[in-house]
């Protein structure tokens, strides 16, 4: 049933800064603005107040991986992303065809990268990875900028070679219960687990400010057409002192063909709490605060 994350919803009290990053610097296109969103969206997204405006940004020709910015005034500030040691959203991944000029433009506008680019092999393979982490502190996130490889990193750049930055290709959620998260992703969402591995070694330690020998296991999930963005759960590193953020800074919106089946699978509360089961904009939608550091909106497919 799961075939990628359709949208990543980012609540923000300063949507202008995020629009400037994603639209003006990363080339997303503003495809829809709603100045009077339904008040039910507050409960659906698990927010303390309903958004007063939503802005949908996407990559033309992409299949999923859009970004919806939710304007929520007076939202408390997020804790900046640091060590991957607490439950919750951690990173969004993007592919860049030619990272240097894009990264240079972003730095010139005052955004900050954690380190210079690092290079390592994808766990369990000899596939080279060039990666750099951008701080997006408005949402308390990191953004992984990964070198695009033709025929090796599936995204909108495959069909549109002039695109400099891809859609969101993966959303990373840290969890203290990776086994439970994997079960949820496969048995409830119906996703296919296509990659598991441990991210560690000197390059990863440098990129994420980890101590020598530290790392984490991760698993990625996609669907039959490999639509973006893929879902990634990763095991938290022990020793964290920060409590999970009470605000869902990233909400993964997934279109599914049969919400009755999903609702039945969630009824016992094993995987989390259904915060809302409502019809908004003509489509049934479930809000789910999962036990695995991820908040979802599971939406009935349009067709």
Q: Convert the pLDDT of each residue in 123-172 to its tens digit.
A: 878 888 899 999 999 999 999 999 998 876 789 999 899 999 999 999 99
CATH of domain 7-300: 3.10.180.10
- Phi then psi dihedrals of residue 139, to 5 deg: -105, 0
Tokens of 210: 């980890």
Q: Enumerate the domain spans of the chain.
A: 7-300
**pTM of this structure:** 0.96
pLDDT of residue 152: 65
Confidence class for position 173, pLDDT limits 50, 70, 90: very high
Helices (H), 196-247: 202-208
Tokens of 195: 């990659």
Q: Residue 171: which residues within 8 A CB-CB, separation 6 or more? A: 5, 8, 89, 91, 92, 93, 229, 230, 231, 232, 250, 252, 294
- Condensed to tens digits (0 to 9), the pLDDT of residues 79-108 reads 888 899 999 999 999 999 999 999 999 999
Helix, strand, coil percentages in the chain from 3-state DSSP, rounded to 5: 20, 35, 45
d(CA 264, CA 276): 14
Confidence class for position 291, pLDDT limits 50, 70, 90: very high
d(CA 55, CA 21): 13
Length of the chain as a residue count = 303
């Amino acid at each position: 049933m799961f075939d990628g994350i359709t949208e990543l919803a980012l609540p923000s009290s300063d949507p202008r800064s995020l629009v400037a990053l994603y639209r003006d610097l990363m080339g997303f296109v503003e495809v829809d603005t709603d100045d009077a969103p339904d008040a039910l969206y507050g409960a659906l997204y698990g927010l303390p107040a309903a958004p007063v405006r939503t802005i949908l940004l996407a990559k033309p020709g992409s299949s999923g991986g859009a970004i919806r910015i939710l304007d929520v005034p007076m939202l408390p500030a997020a804790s900046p992303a640091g060590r991957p040691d607490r439950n919750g959203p951690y990173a969004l991944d993007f592919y860049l065809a030619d990272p240097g000029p894009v990264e240079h433009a972003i730095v010139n506008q005052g955004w900050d990268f954690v380190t210079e680019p690092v290079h390592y092999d994808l766990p369990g393979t000899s596939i080279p990875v060039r990666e750099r982490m951008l701080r997006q502190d408005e949402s308390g996130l990191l953004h992984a900028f990964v070198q695009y490889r033709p025929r090796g990193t599936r995204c909108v750049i495959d069909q549109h070679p002039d695109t400099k930055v891809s859609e969101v290709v993966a959303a990373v959620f840290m969890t203290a219960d990776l086994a439970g998260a994997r079960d949820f992703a496969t048995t409830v969402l119906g996703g296919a687990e296509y990659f598991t591995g441990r991210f560690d070694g000197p390059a990863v330690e440098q990129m994420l400010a980890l101590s020598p020998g530290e790392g984490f296991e991760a698993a990625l999930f996609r669907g039959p057409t490999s639509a973006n963005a893929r879902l990634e759960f990763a095991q938290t590193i022990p020793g964290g002192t920060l409590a999970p953020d009470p605000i869902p800074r990233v909400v993964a919106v997934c279109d599914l063909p049969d919400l009755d089946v999903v609702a039945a699978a969630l009824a016992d509360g094993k995987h989390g709490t259904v915060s809302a089961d409502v019809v908004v904009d003509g489509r049934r939608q479930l809000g789910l605060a999962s036990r695995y550091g991820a908040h979802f909106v599971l939406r009935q497919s349009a067709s």
